[in-house]
Amino acid sequence: MNISMLDLAAEQRELSGELEAAIKGVLASGHFILGPQGAAFENEIAAWLGVGHAVAVASGTDALHLALRAAGVGPGDEVVTPAFTFIATAQAISYCGARPVFADIDPGTFNLDPSSLARVLTPRTRAVIAVHLYGQCADMGSIAAVCEQRGLTLIEDCAQAIGADWQGRRAGAWGALGCFSFYPTKNLGAYGDAGLITTGDAKLAETLRVLRHHGSRVAYRHEMIGYNSRMDELQAAILRVKLRRLEAWNAARRGHAEHYRRLLAGSTLVLPSEHGRGSHAYHQFTLRSARRDAMREALTRAGIASAIYYPIPLHHQPVYEREHGGLSLPVSEEAARTVFAVPVYPQLTADRLERVCEVLLTA
Ligand SMILES: Cc1ncc(COP(=O)(O)O)c(C=O)c1O
């Protein structure tokens, strides 16, 4: 039995009638950019997340970039982010001409460690990007308190954590700005690139709308250097269909995580820890093992996919190594050496999950 990391074909079978109707509706409308689907999606997701405003953009990377621009981040500024995340988080800082400053993570949750954050702040620090890695919120209580005390803009990278919450408030509703990705493999995935920014601030939302549309509010009048970064109507229509399923899909992911915990309890594998302050969206179920390579080889031999998110911490990425390579961030470095993710997608069946565990327990 072959087991993949994700089964988008199964998801499509589940939704085919609704998706086809939604796509046909857009084709018939002749409206493809900045139309009624995008506006409806923004309203629906803002209500679902519990935020005042949602601005749909072309990707999660653009969401981070535009959020930083809207917050006024530019040359001479420093922005703190964990070293253990996808490259896009740091790249967005570099796009603005600002300097990424890498902090270490908590060994249990893999998220930004508030004490490491406090140690890297300088008078040049302007903003913090807290990443909710693998689907679980970072410690928003402590991180928001540090940002408030120091007058720093808090930006959430919610790319992997749509639907997760910290103390009942959803990811994307804590910071001044929340950034989402709808890359096809995400818990809420488009059929192409798409992203979104949330904010409670009407002025920031307005700036983001101008930034995503060539710096223009009125046709052919450009008041700032903006971008072509709009979510298209087809993606918005598809996402509206899928948003209605997201609650159930995230619950299925949590159910699989529980099942893994039961079957893998007592093994030498380190299971992902939950902070207990809110629900996890289980974008990934990430294990740790000193024997990671042997474990993954056994899975591959059995036809089971696994993946490493991420094998190289950002301070050791070739693009950042020259400036940041001398940093010591031991928890991020250890995570990069030992983590691996196993399938946890909503349509994963119990027999497949049990097979993954059987192979892991005998590897
Ligand atoms: C943590 C994180 N940040 C940012 C991104 C960038 O999103 P996108 O691929 O939509 O540009 C991703 C996903 O790809 C991600 O996982």
| pLDDT per position as a tens digit, 234-288 | 999 999 999 999 999 999 999 999 999 999 999 999 999 999 999 999 999 999 9
Q: 72 in a domain, yes or no?
A: yes
Number of domains in the chain: 2
Going from the Cα of 34 to the center of ligand 1, the distance in angstroms, rounded, reads 22
What are 128's strand-pairing partners? 80, 154
Distance from C-alpha of 85 to C-alpha of 105, rounded to nearest angstrom: 10
Q: Which of 196, 225, 240 is the last residue of a domain?
A: 240
In short, whether 181's Cβ falls inside 6 Å of ligand 1 is yes
Same domain, 270 and 351: yes
- Look at phi and psi of residue 167 and say left if phi exceeds 0, alpha if psi is from -120 to 50, else beta: left
The percent of the chain in helix, strand and coil, each rounded to the nearest 5, is 45, 20, 40
pTM of the model: 0.98
For atom 10 of ligand 1, which residue has the closest CA? 60
Phi-psi group of 305: left, alpha or beta (phi > 0 → left; psi -120 to 50 → alpha; rest → beta): beta
**Phi, psi angle pair for 342, to nearest 5°:** -115, 160
Return all residues near 265 (Cβ < 8 A) that are at least 6 apart. Answer: 271
Asked whether residue 3 is domain-assigned, the answer is no
Q: Which atom of ligand 1 is nearest to the CA of 62?
A: 11
Q: Is 195 in the pocket of ligand 1 (CB under 6 A)?
A: yes
**Residues sharing a CB contact under 8 Å with residue 120, sequence separation 6 or more, in sequence order:** 80, 101, 102, 103
Q: Answer yes or no: is the C-beta of 196 below 6 A from any ligand 1 atom.
A: no
Supply the DSSP symbol for 315.
G
Buried b (16+ CB within 10 A) or exposed e, 205-224: bebbbbbbbeebeeeeeeee
CA atoms in the 13 A half-sphere facing the CB of 87 = 9
| CA distances, 156 to each of 31, 86, 100, 222 (Å) | 31, 14, 15, 28
Block residue for tokens 């691996």: 340
Q: What is the DSSP string of 186-244?
A: SSS--SS--EEEEES-HHHHHHHHHHTBTTEEETTEE-S---B---BHHHHHHHHHHHH
Give the single-character DSSP code of 314: G
CA-CA distance, 140 to 146, in Å (whole number)?
A: 10
Sign of torsion over alpha carbons 207, 209, 214, 220: negative
Question: Is 332 close to ligand 1, i.e. is its CB under 6 Å away?
Answer: no
Does one domain contain both 143 and 255? Answer: no
234 in the same domain as 116:
yes
343: tokens are 């399938």
Q: What is the position in ligand 1's atom list of the atom closest to the CA of 131?
A: 1
The span from the CA of 290 to the CA of 270, in Å, is: 9
* Domain shared by 224 and 261, yes or no: no
Give the 3-state secondary structure of residue 88: helix
Name the residue with the closest Cα to ligand 1, atom 4. Answer: 88
Identify whether 48 is part of a domain: yes
State which of 240, 275, 291 marks the end of a domain. 240
Q: What is the pLDDT of residue 1?
A: 87
Q: Are 182 and 235 in contact, with CB atoms under 8 Å apart?
A: yes
| 351 within domain boundaries | yes
Does ligand 1 have an atom closer than 6 angstroms to the CB of 183? Answer: yes
Residues 267 and 235 in one domain: no
Tens of each residue's pLDDT in the chain, 363 residues: 899 999 999 999 999 999 999 999 999 999 999 999 999 999 999 999 999 999 999 999 999 999 999 999 999 999 999 999 999 999 999 999 999 999 999 999 999 999 999 999 999 999 999 999 999 999 999 999 999 999 999 999 999 999 999 999 999 999 999 999 999 999 999 999 999 999 999 999 999 999 999 999 999 999 999 999 999 999 999 999 999 999 999 999 999 999 999 999 999 999 999 999 999 999 999 999 999 999 999 999 999 999 999 999 999 999 999 999 999 999 999 999 999 999 999 999 999 999 999 999 999
Residue 346 belongs to what domain range? 246-362
* pLDDT score for 87: 98
**Alpha carbon distance 116, 118 (integer Å):** 5
User: CA angle, 240 as apex, 239 and 244 as ends, to 5°?
Assistant: 105
Atom number, ligand 1, closest to the C-alpha of residue 61: 11
Clarify whether residues 188 and 251 are in a common domain: no
Cα–Cα separations (whole angstroms), residue 107 to 149, 207, 261, 332: 25, 37, 18, 8
Same domain, 203 and 305: no
CA distance 200 to 239: 22
Is 278 inside a domain boundary?
Answer: yes
Q: How far is the CA of 83 from the centre of ligand 1 (A)?
A: 15
Judgement on whether residues 280 and 209 belong to the same structural domain of the protein = no
Co-location of 39 and 88 in the same domain: yes
With the most atoms of ligand 1 within 8 angstroms of its CB, the residue from 183, 197, 231, 282 to mutate is 183
Domain CATH for 296: 3.90.1150.10
Domain final position from 214, 240, 266 = 240
